[in-house]
Amino acid sequence: MEHYKMNLTLKVWRQKNHQDKGQFVTYQVAGISSEMSFLEMFDVLNENLIEEGKEPIAFDHDCREGICGTCSMYINGRPHGPWQGTTTCQLHMRAFKDGDTIVVEPWRANAFPVVKDLIVDRSAFDRIIQAGGFISVNTGNAVDGNTLPIEKSRADESFAAAACIGCGACVAACKNSSAMLFVSAKVSHLALLPQGEPEKHSRVLNMITHMDKEGFGACSNTGACEAVCPKEISLDNIARLNMEYLGSSLTMDK
């Protein structure tokens, strides 16, 4: 693949904290390799800012391998940028052209307050998990893997749901800032397995209740969440979540 250099204009959201109004600031970067990742390009920009005695742009990152979910950037109006099924850290600069203007913002949701610049507080997701996204098992030696036979189709569905990395792109894309795709993935991957049976009914009720408590909106039914999910979590999980919620509501009311 041919490598090339490009000069870019970046319009980046700068905000000191949640109380600050914030604004876009324009930066120029030159000589960016087409084979750099988007975060590597930001590293170059920050190095330039530091050399100029300016404050670098704060952004979240960790593994840079597309598995941790922290690299949350809204790029040209799309969470994680233009590539399908890709996190920001796995987005490469060949997705853009020389002379492009790129607009970069943080997630926009009341439940994800801005910490600084492009970093948002996504601990609401952690609290939803704490509300019910677990299983109760006896401690001791690990149970043999074949003790609980599971149909391959169910195991595959559970694994696909468990692929959710909790990045929050679904929330950022939804016009109602709904967390339904995230919650449905967490509920589904346990609901499909026998290990998830003991908390089956309380799990979905507790997680939905806490999702609402955190200020996430209702499902918009537009499918924007699935379209931008870097792990391509299916909307089928939301349908399963609704069925689990209805069934558990009727069961717990008895």
pLDDT tens digit sequence for 69-100: 999 999 999 999 999 999 999 999 999 999 99
Q: What percent of the chain has pLDDT over 90?
A: 87
Contacts 24+ apart (CB under 8 A), 11-15: 11/101, 11/102, 11/103, 11/104, 12/57, 12/104, 12/117, 12/118, 13/104, 13/105, 13/106, 13/117, 13/118, 14/57, 14/117, 15/106, 15/114, 15/116, 15/117
**CA–CA separation, 240 and 161 (whole Å):** 11
> What distances in angstroms separate CA 25 from CA 14, 50, 103, one per listed residue?
7, 16, 10
- Work out the average pLDDT over 208-233: 97
Sorted by where each begins, the domain ranges of the chain are 5-105, 122-137+147-253
CATH architecture for the domain at 122-137+147-253: Orthogonal Bundle (1.10)
Per-residue model confidence (pLDDT) at position 1: 62
> What predicted TM-score, i.e. pTM, was given to this entire model?
0.92
Condensed to tens digits (0 to 9), the pLDDT of residues 115-125 reads 999 999 999 99
- Mean pLDDT rounded to a whole number for the chain: 94
What is 5-105's CATH number? 3.10.20.30
Residue 254 has pLDDT above 60, yes or no: no
Cβ-in-10-Å burial (0-12, 13-18, 19+) of 41 comes to: buried
Residue 7 has pLDDT above 80, yes or no: yes
Confidence of residue 136 (pLDDT cuts 50, 70, 90): confident
